Chain A
Amino acid sequence: MFRFIVRRLLQLVPTLFGLSILLFIWLHRLPGGPETALLGERGTPESRAQIRESLGLDEPLPIQYGRFVKRLVQLDLGTSISTKREVTTEFLQRFPGTVELTITAMIIAIGVGIPLGYLAARRRGSILDQASVGGSLLGTCIPIFFLAYVLKAIFAENLGWFPTIGRQDASINATHITNFFVLDGLLTREWDAAADAIWHLVLPGIALASIPLAIIVRITRASVLEVLGEDFVRTAEAKGLTERTVRRRHVLRNAMLPVATSIGLLTGLLLSGAVLTETVFAFSGIGAFIKDAISNLDYPVLMGFIMIIAVVFALVNLLVDVSYSLIDPRVRVR
């Protein structure tokens, strides 16, 4: 097991290496060069020269690259042009929000998707089946920010059931320790603050969950159908086991494996979607900040965030692989 993890971690190295080269090239190819990227358009010649010197831009490329990597490894990602604060600080303050949001979306997608996909497969051809197949096709075709707008306009703006913006009501004056607002509320026993934070997660969570939900329904349905046709299920049924037992012991368990493997893929979708959803709901996570960085041409933030997200994404994939190999020993072979 340990060796498996080590091997997978080693596989990360070339990917990260390549990514760092890409970002390095990216930085150098930006219109106006790295000085402009780091200073914005308003740089005076002196400060440009200063930056050129501090980055060693007049030295040979490999040496420059070495420095670049050194700074990356030290997590020195520079300073945001728009907020004047460290990029790493910005990330750490906002990441908890995105984590809360993606977890909410994942819970919604899995909690609704698996039962729905299962039922659709069990009652193949029924109205429920057709509706969930059609719905999941539609789900992948709706631009996520449009869905977010529609949800917000109906359930928040007009019905007033949910808040339209942010992670927590600004007038609640909650105590924050970890920046995971729900967790903070529970830890400090400010129950109203925790409830309010959860309340703020519902609509963006649903909007963000739409595509993963559609995918999970389809995967679950397909794999349940496949499992239902397999010999061991027929044997179990022939043995006279009740439908409930068969369902619990065999069908669901086996059908969930493909869903588990797709969680890595879904994380990617969720991180992409977070940029759009957080923007619509003015939800202060990394996604909304990336959108701000695009608007402000805040390259240090864009670059730093992309690098960190790539690492996080890779680690999530690793985690998924490891836990998958725990569930299904067959994967570990090789």
Chain B
Amino acid sequence: MTLAPGRKKEKLDRLAELSAVHDDERGVSLWQEALRRLRRNPAAIVGAVILTVFVLVAVIGPFLVPHEPTDTMGIREGVVKSGQGLIPGPSADHWLGYDHQGRDEFSRMVVGARQTLLVGIVATLIGLTIGVLIGGVAGAAAGLGGRWGRLVDSVLMRIVDMMLSLPSLLLAVSVAALLGPGLTTVMIAVGVVSVPIFARLLRGSMIAQANRDYVVAASSLGVRESKIAISHILPNSLAPVIVQATLTLATAIIEVAALSFLGLGNPDSAVPEWGLMLADAQPYLGIRPELAIYPAVGIIITALGFTLLGEAMREALDPKLRR
């Protein structure tokens, strides 16, 4: 069954329209509806506010910090004597005091926010990209493929199962041990951990989409299978993936901290990152517990922001909870 190119395009456009509104009774798109629901959810608002502040600090903050985060001024000036238990706390010039190396703690927290966000985002993107690739191929193969499709799907899913057969931190540790300690290592290790989650999720929702009416309609109209997969099923299956990405950002930030704690993080603490700052503060817990508390609270609040927003998005997009 072949169609003239012009006619085919027309049909596809119509399909796109259909799929955009397929799940909605009131004529508003899925995303608009979700946004409306999000705005009414106080948890989502709190999450969004936290994240806005965090991102603003991370993006603009480093340009405005009062001191160079790597400058060991406190030691040069002889104010910080951590070997004798003396690390001055907050003052007018140093809002959060000094760290154990005589650096300005406030500046480090701010610059650390950027590093933490960056590491979290890159790690999530690594997981997302690989996961979406695997899950997408598997989903497309499973939903539309015949024998070969099923084979591809099952091979890919076995790989994913394998990754799931290890507790997440151990998977991250094995990856990190292979690559040696460092910032890149941490990002890759944390990213790899989330690959199976994204892959399974996308595949699952693609298979669910594949059975929907509009896909059946499209294939009976003779639209090529790969075309259907890429232009219709995939975009419609991405919603849960995006929600998951938000949630993964939260776990990524926490896992980065855990890897730093285990000594697999960036060994060079000149560039501040919250997980590393938390790990570095351990010997000084007795004299200045705040040095651990600041980055810990930073991590907790940020992770909470991503979690709140992610959970709210999940609720908003869940058709079962709508109405």
* A146-B177 contact in complex given A276-B258, A314-B165, C-beta closer than 8 Å: no
Q: Are A295's CB and B166's CB within 8 A?
A: no
A29 interface residue per 8 A CB criterion: yes
| Docked complex: B246-288 residues within 8 A CB-CB of A | 250, 254, 257-258, 261-264, 278, 282, 285
Q: CB < 8 Å: which of B180, B278, B282 contacts A31?
A: B180
Q: Are B167's CB and A268's CB within 8 A?
A: yes
14 CB < 8 A contacts A-B: A14-B158, A19-B166, A29-B178, A143-B258, A143-B299, A144-B258, A145-B257, A149-B292, A153-B289, A272-B168, A275-B262, A276-B169, A279-B261, A302-B173
Contact stretch, chosen from B12-20, B144-152, B302-310: B302-310
B252 to chain A, nearest CB (A): 12
B257 contacts across to A, CB distance below 8 A: 143, 145-146
Q: Are B311's CB and A141's CB within 8 A?
A: no
Chain B, residues 162-184, CB within 8 Å of chain A (1/0): the string is 10011111100110011010000
Q: Are A141's CB and B300's CB within 8 A?
A: yes
A294 to chain B, nearest CB (A): 6
Q: Are A30's CB and B178's CB within 8 A?
A: yes
Chain A, residues 294-312, CB within 8 Å of chain B (1/0): the string is 1101010010001001100
Q: Which A residues are within 8 Å of any B CB, using their own CB? A: 14-16, 18-19, 22, 26, 29-31, 137-138, 140-146, 149, 153, 267-269, 271-273, 275-276, 279, 290-291, 294-295, 297, 299, 302, 306, 309-310, 313-314
Interface size on B, residues (CB 8 A): 36
Q: Are B167's CB and A269's CB within 8 A?
A: yes
B251 to chain A, nearest CB (A): 8
Task: Give Cα distance in the complex from A137 to B285, angstroms.
Answer: 27
Q: Contacts A149-B285, A279-B261, A309-B170 given; 20 further ones with Cβ under 8 A?
A: A15-B161, A18-B158, A137-B307, A141-B254, A143-B300, A145-B257, A146-B278, A146-B292, A146-B296, A268-B168, A271-B169, A272-B167, A272-B170, A275-B173, A294-B173, A294-B264, A295-B263, A306-B174, A309-B167, A310-B166
Q: CB < 8 Å: which of B165, B166, B285, B307 contacts A140?
A: B307
B156 to chain A, nearest CB (A): 12
B21 interface residue per 8 A CB criterion: no
